[in-house]
Amino acid sequence: MNHRRLNGLREFLPRSRADALLVSGLANIRYLTGFTGSSALLLVSDHDAVLFTDRRYEVQAAQEVQGAAVTVARGPLLTALIGSLKRRCLRRLGFERGRASYELYEALRSRLEGCRLRPVAGTVEQLRAIKDAGEIEFIRRAVELNSAVFEKCLGRIRAGRTEADLASAIDHTMRLMGGEKPAFETIVAAGPRSALPHARPSLNLLRKNEFILVDQGVILRGYSSDMTRTMALGDPGRKGRRVYQAVLEAQMAAISQVRPGVTAEQVDRQARKVFRKHGLEKAFVHSTGHGVGLEIHEAPRLGRREKTKLEAGMVVTIEPGAYLEGFGGVRIEDMVLVTERGCEVLTPTPKDLRVL
Amino acid sequence: MNHRRLNGLREFLPRSRADALLVSGLANIRYLTGFTGSSALLLVSDHDAVLFTDRRYEVQAAQEVQGAAVTVARGPLLTALIGSLKRRCLRRLGFERGRASYELYEALRSRLEGCRLRPVAGTVEQLRAIKDAGEIEFIRRAVELNSAVFEKCLGRIRAGRTEADLASAIDHTMRLMGGEKPAFETIVAAGPRSALPHARPSLNLLRKNEFILVDQGVILRGYSSDMTRTMALGDPGRKGRRVYQAVLEAQMAAISQVRPGVTAEQVDRQARKVFRKHGLEKAFVHSTGHGVGLEIHEAPRLGRREKTKLEAGMVVTIEPGAYLEGFGGVRIEDMVLVTERGCEVLTPTPKDLRVL
């Protein structure tokens, strides 16, 4: 499997005018080699691949890495890498434009004389955007587990509890039910706080007749899931119901656009069109979705001016929301797999407004 | 408070030969402005400071940011930033060498004609290394909470449970007892797995007569704590006891060196000296410690070739360990505050070998 992925990457080398590519993004390294440690650099040439890590990960790297040789650095990784690069007499080295720090670039530039550095944009990310069958299976299970956790925690949504309480119960349930850990900081936002798209769970109490927005994801075997549901604790009022229906309509309209060949911005535009109809276009302050896989946010982004064409095997979120300061917010988010003929909504959790 | 910090940073500007500094590290931005969102850039000149964020954080930024003006970008942050930089006609812009991505650097370089870019190393990190009284108080509480959580979970260490079970219970207890979240992925490693310094909790069972290594930290009001204890479930055997005593001796010896004026490498060397005496120098595969604050790993690093002199107000971990493949590992870690005359061990949890 890793050989196939590494070979996929090698196809980019001539196009990038590089003899080898230095991969520094940890999720990219995991994708290509299976290594899950937090300290690594990976050098991929057309005939080999070498992973550099430090002594803390010596045993783990031997267990996990496939498709690449492992070099355990005795000092800084960068020193080991540069020594190896010098011995190879590389003339053109690609590096990850969006993942390399300026510091890494500067060290390569100053210490590798006679080697041209080529910034390369999103190559591994492009490979990762199209999931293979094994990955889709992992993601499917992560999505199903996430929904099961959500159902299990629904009973805990009661007036008088804090947002933080509920978020903690969700995270704990994820682990009890076999998940690795939350894919991101679980969001529980009640009442006016639901108007903050990235609210942190606070000691704010859940109250009657307000919205509760829950955005949660669990990681299973390295793959993330992501789902948002907004519920009402008692009656959310006419305005609340109207906003909810508008968001749901926007979400379904966006999903209806998802199929191979459609651009990411088309899907986003569809959601915006529905909001405009309801006079809510200014209340939708983020993009419609993003890819999910080894990272919670990955390619493609479904937003304005995104020309990427959807392809079968992509897995994206569709998550429009409307946020009204002082009143509250609604977001509805599913994970969707792009199939040969259209798409499959992976998230099994119902989307009608639940009044608890 | 933020004004004092921003002014501290401004003192670096002339030395960096820059008219303004672009801060891109999120923890640095939080330190300087109070903003806790995940999307921000901060421009600090000698007379003002502007934080750029996106619309998702409009409300939150208005609530949190102090000492800086807020600009909410309608499109990409970088576009808003570059527009603002152009209007300022800056001639020399500093940027964070270790925090800026190559991509950010490249965008600045190509779009800011006539402006010299100056990579600046670790300025905000240097300020952050010395904690003020308020920060020390936050850290103290985080450390005490972490130890209380540990004591509460000790009873759950029983043969037949999995590492993952125990780790999950620890994380949940952190939240139940008022912590924000774990400061890092809690490590529970039993038996031979304790020889992996960064083991992930697995479905491996806790067994009699083996070591259990627990490395946990909790975040409270943004500040992290970090502690490792290694316990024995039943008799760890003569070899186990010998290794434990050697690690404890190394840890105490390193702590005895901590005071203002001593270099980071001196503290590290002291731990290594003890390991050498016990023939365990090769079993100690990482450095002796690191600073802790808004990030779990920050300046100073206590390792080989680290010339930083300790100063009063620094908070560091002291965490030597010995790892024997196939047998197991022992690490003992406390958090230590450098005081005017020496140091104070903040971690209240006992360090004698606990046999459970």
pLDDT tens, residue by residue, A250-285: 999 999 999 999 999 999 999 999 999 999 999 999
* A36/A181 Cα distance (integer angstroms): 14
- For B353, left (φ over 0), alpha (ψ -120 to 50), or beta? beta
pLDDT at A101: 94
Is the alpha carbon torsion for A260, A263, A268, A269 positive or negative? negative
Q: Quick one: DSSP state of residue A39?
A: S
Intra-chain end-to-end CA distance of chain B, in Å: 46
Q: Which residues in chain A are contacts of B24 at CB distance < 8 A?
A: none
Are A106 and B97 in contact (CB < 8 Å)?
yes
Q: Please say whether the beta carbons of B228 and B215 come within 8 A.
A: yes
Q: No. of H helices and E strands in chain A?
A: 11, 19
pLDDT at A59 over 90: no
* A5/B107 Cα distance (integer angstroms): 30
CA nearest to B34, candidates B54, B57, B56, B10 = B57
Instruction: For the beta carbon of residue B62, count every other beta carbon within 10 angstroms.
Output: 11
Q: Please say whether the beta carbons of B43 and B28 come within 8 A.
A: no
CA-to-CA dists, residue B82 to A303, B77, B111, angstroms: 21, 9, 7
Whether omega before A350 lies within 30 degrees of 0, making that bond cis, reads no
Token representation of residue B352: 């004698």
Average pLDDT over residues A54-65: 92
Q: How confident is the model at residue A75 (pLDDT cuts 50, 70, 90)?
A: confident
Q: Report the SS3 class of residue A174.
A: helix
Q: Which residues in chain A are contacts of B304 at CB distance < 8 A?
A: 75
Are A175 and B195 in contact (CB < 8 Å)?
no
| CB burial string A196-217: b at 16+ within 10 A, e below | bbbbbbeebebeeebbbbbbbb
Q: Which residues in chain B are contacts of A95 at CB distance < 8 A?
A: 102
Shortest Cα distance from B339 to chain A (angstroms)? 30
Are A36 and B105 in contact (CB < 8 Å)?
no
Q: Quick one: DSSP state of residue B212?
A: E
Is the alpha carbon torsion for B311, B314, B315, B316 positive or negative? negative
| CB burial string A32-63: b at 16+ within 10 A, e below | bbbbbbebbbbbbbeeebbbbbbbbbbbbbee
CA nearest to B28, candidates B91, B106, B100 = B100
Question: At a CB cut-off of 8 Å and minimum separation 6, what does A279 contact?
Answer: none
What's phi and psi for A184, nearest 5 deg? -165, 175
* A348/A318 Cα distance (integer angstroms): 14
What's phi and psi for B126, nearest 5 deg? -65, -45
pLDDT at B1: 66
The string of DSSP letters for A57-105 reads: GHHHHHHH--SSEEEEESS-HHHHHHHHHHHHT-SEEEEETTTSBHHHH
Chain Cα centroid distance, residue A341: 24
* A139/A337 Cα distance (integer angstroms): 10
pLDDT at B199: 83
Question: In degrees, to the nearest 5, what angle opens at C-alpha A132 toward C-alphas A130 and A135?
Answer: 105
pLDDT at A198: 84
Given a cut of 50, the residues of chain B with pLDDT beneath it are: none
Q: Which residues in chain A are contacts of B105 at CB distance < 8 A?
A: 102, 105
> Most B CBs within 10 Å: which of A24, A79, A102, as the mutation test of the B interface?
A102
Q: Which residues in chain B are contacts of A325 at CB distance < 8 A?
A: 59
Q: How, if at all, do strands A334-338 and B116-120 pair?
A: unpaired
pLDDT, tens digit (0-9, with 9 covering 90-100), for A310-348 = 999 999 999 999 999 999 999 999 999 999 999 999 999
* A266/A278 Cα distance (integer angstroms): 19
pLDDT at A154 over 80: yes
pLDDT at A1 over 70: no
Q: Please say whether the beta carbons of B127 and B104 come within 8 A.
A: no
Q: Please say whether the beta carbons of B54 and B68 come within 8 A.
A: no
Q: Report the SS3 class of residue A286.
A: coil
Average pLDDT over residues A113-127: 94
pLDDT at B230: 98
The shortest CB-CB distance from A38 to any of B97, B103, B198 is to B198
Q: Please say whether the beta carbons of B61 and B53 come within 8 A.
A: yes
Question: In this prediction, what percent of chain A has a pLDDT beyond 70?
Answer: 100
Residues in chain B whose beta carbon is closer than 8 A to a beta carbon of chain A?
Answer: 36-38, 54-60, 75, 95, 97-106, 119, 164, 167-168, 171-172, 175-176, 181, 185, 195-200, 285-286, 304, 325
The shortest CB-CB distance from B59 to any of A55, A101, A195 is to A195
Tally the C-alpha atoms within 13 A of residue A74's C-alpha that lie toward its C-beta. 3
Q: Report the SS3 class of residue B205.
A: strand
| Beta bridge partner(s), residue A92 | A116
CA-to-CA dists, residue A210 to A60, A177, A240, A351, angstroms: 48, 29, 9, 17
Q: Report the SS3 class of residue B198.
A: coil
The string of DSSP letters for B238-249 reads: HHHHHHHHHHHH
* A126/A85 Cα distance (integer angstroms): 26
Q: Please say whether the beta carbons of A230 and A197 come within 8 A.
A: no
Instruction: For the beta carbon of residue B77, count every other beta carbon within 10 angstroms.
Output: 18
Q: Quick one: DSSP state of residue B209?
A: T
The shortest CB-CB distance from A285 to any of B55, B97, B195 is to B55
What is the set of domains in chain A, with CATH numbers? 2-128 (3.40.350.10), 130-345 (3.90.230.10)
What's phi and psi for A100, nearest 5 deg? -75, 140
pLDDT at A244 over 70: yes
* B178/B153 Cα distance (integer angstroms): 15
